[in-house]
Structure 1
């Protein structure tokens, strides 16, 4: 293609992408403010009640997810909040440990067993949780200011392990009680979803099915920052992104433990990722715009499924890797919007073809697989092959699909 023709085509694609952003991606600020106000009123009422009944759960939620990062697209109908466990005794993370003598029975209850019948790897001197997961173990000298016998007894622990299933069950029961005692039954429904770490509420607001709110219990990192295994490889030796001050901020923020699994805590880098995204476009770049465009295309065309193989989290991971590949501000100028979006889609297509989505901080974790190493490819015709076809269609005629 001649240079003048290529430039003209690039300009047209940038114009279409900006139009797509203005008409289909952006959410109305006044609508969002009203939704946030209503959500916070309900969440504050529930968590205040929960905290009065059990001081271990903080009454101050921490906003997370797409809205907190300024990446929400379409309607403000989903919000995520993290609820911290407070007053914890001294604890240790255990990635290798002696066998645990408890498990979950068929009815979902913790029971004593001769050994934990889990899909765990056998190490030289114990058992190892799946990659990206760990145990939280209260040490023998963990009484301190918050005696374990008073605050963290067997209702949350087993063999001195803080058990995610027990934490989540207690929290869910208190949330359910709060809805009843705070006269919120006409406004709020507690969803009986069994999978995932969140307690999901449906706020019966508006005429479009209401607002979904996820409340996720988590354990802070006890001031340890990032794991040593991550610090050995991140920031990567060749990197020119993120800048040094952002690296230090991420190290301070560190990781948290989320009640993702029933028996193991998931190592979550969500707060680190939020720190990386905060102020990412202070140079006037288009990084967040690119991500929001991809998220909207994913929702509306690429992955129209209740269990999409490409999630919003996969796209956020994609952007972080692409920022390392293109560290210069000039690479993300507004004039390069079309080039960057197409580059992101090409890389995503490669990931989909290879069935590999490398975790940004722990690349050996494939985010397209579950904790057992099984590929999350549904048998409903909406799996990786379907997404690959959709991505090819976009790359072949991006402007036509943006205008549809």
Structure 2
């Protein structure tokens, strides 16, 4: 492949028209503002002002501005920090409800930011250690608890939240009654948060304008409530994800493997900015909260091309190519999020702006293609900010193998993918 071919493909197939951007963004933002205002009036624990996240807001969207992502902040009273805590007695039942149990929940391995786990403890059958998140400023404990054990554990990056100091405030204000109850004992239950938030969003359909233009998808394994919004003038369908998020500002743990000693990308200033932001939590799994690096990723991408480089351009080209590499109409085993992490690793391996000039566009695209192949064949793509998380875990190998085959086809004959009517 050559740069001329890639630049033409970028111009014809990847770039979004300015008119499409402005019109869709303005309409979506007005709808979301109205919904979140209504949700906040029903339950003030959900803030009105969301985080604007996703590919549209990081300049990585391709072709059309037809997908928008927002994180809706669940106010738990303060930021979080790692601390020791007991672990809870709750679990998911056959009816897919979360309820109290007589046995303690199994928790992820400890990830302490200041200490390494001795090998003899890691291999002990009897040792149980729990660590969580606590607020030091207001003396209210808000904890993410963890257990160290050889029994089967959830994947890395999962945890649970304990907020004993905040629950009495919610109870006193009758915010945590009935269906609005988000807790069991002192623990904040992710499934309860997802269900209650979706119920509140559904309530917003009493507003005529919302009812006219919006449909809500069913609850899924995704952290988000998905809305399908019909544009009033074009009838275009726009997908909007609203995901509840705890703004935890949790410090990075040494066990995450980031930042890596000796790495020359990102800059020290950017690393400090990301560390100051810290990690947040999203409600993905029924029992556990998932560590979220969405704002960290946004900050990492912010200013990535200030030197006139092609980092985002190469990523957008790969995202468009991914649509051709992956089978349409089926579950996407290789996603845009995988590509984003491929980009981050490529930037760390090739840190200099001189390696990301427009003249090196085809080189970087090819390099990332080989990186995708390498990680898929190994069966392991580590999340950039937490290398113990394998983004390819539990993915369908047959689907990933087809992706690899299509990438090899692309590398052998790029015209077949880059030139119109060649497929």
* TM-score w.r.t. length of structure 2: 0.83
Q: CA deviation at 1:302?
A: 3.6
Other structure's SS at 2:159 match: strand
Counterparts in 2 of 1:93 and 1:174: CA distance versus 1, 3 Å: farther
Matched, 1:100 2:88: yes
Q: Deviations over 1:70-104 (max 9, x none)?
A: 1000111111000001252676657x864532222
Q: CA deviation at 1:150?
A: 3.1
* CA distance in 1: counterparts of 2:212 and 2:408, whole angstroms: 46
* CA distance in 2: counterparts of 1:172 and 1:293, whole angstroms: 34
- Structure 2 residue aligned with 1:61: 50
Q: CA deviation at 1:136?
A: 0.9
- Structure 2 residue aligned with 1:358: 382
**Unaligned stretches of 5+ residues in structure 2:** 110-124, 130-146, 149-153
* CA distance in 1: counterparts of 2:188 and 2:413, whole angstroms: 52
Counterparts in 2 of 1:386 and 1:73: CA distance versus 1, 3 Å: same
Give the alignment partner of residue 220 of structure 1, picking from 247, 253, 257: 247
- Structure 2 residue aligned with 1:166: 192
Matched, 1:202 2:190: no
Please list, as runs of the form range in 1=range in 2, the aligned pairs for 1:243-322 lying within 5 A after superposition.
Answer: 243-322=267-346
* CA distance in 2: counterparts of 1:365 and 1:309, whole angstroms: 16
Give the alignment partner of residue 179 of structure 1, picking from 165, 189, 205: 205
Counterparts in 2 of 1:91 and 1:346: CA distance versus 1, 3 Å: closer
- Structure 2 residue aligned with 1:70: 59
* CA distance in 2: counterparts of 1:93 and 1:106, whole angstroms: 32
* CA distance in 1: counterparts of 2:174 and 2:250, whole angstroms: 23
* CA distance in 1: counterparts of 2:318 and 2:174, whole angstroms: 45
Q: Deviations over 1:90-136 (max 9, x none)?
A: 76657x86453222223332222212576867872253553101111
Give the alignment partner of residue 323 of structure 1, picking from 340, 344, 347: 347
Counterparts in 2 of 1:248 and 1:151: CA distance versus 1, 3 Å: farther
Mean CA deviation greater in 81-90 or 233-242: 81-90
Q: Is the 8 A contact 2:60 2:316 kept in 1?
A: yes
- Structure 2 residue aligned with 1:130: 155
Q: Is the 8 A contact 2:310 2:357 kept in 1?
A: yes
Give the alignment partner of residue 396 of structure 2, picking from 353, 362, 377: 377
* CA distance in 1: counterparts of 2:318 and 2:416, whole angstroms: 16
* CA distance in 2: counterparts of 1:92 and 1:254, whole angstroms: 10
How many residues are aligned here? 379
**Unaligned stretches of 5+ residues in structure 1:** 1-11, 370-374
- Structure 1 residue aligned with 2:413: 397
* CA distance in 2: counterparts of 1:309 and 1:86, whole angstroms: 33
Mean CA deviation greater in 72-81 or 190-199: 190-199
* CA distance in 2: counterparts of 1:186 and 1:147, whole angstroms: 34
* CA distance in 2: counterparts of 1:269 and 1:249, whole angstroms: 13
Q: Is the 8 A contact 2:81 2:250 kept in 1?
A: no
Q: Deviations over 1:189-240 (max 9, x none)?
A: 111132211001111226676111000000011x44433534xx42211211
* CA distance in 1: counterparts of 2:280 and 2:175, whole angstroms: 19
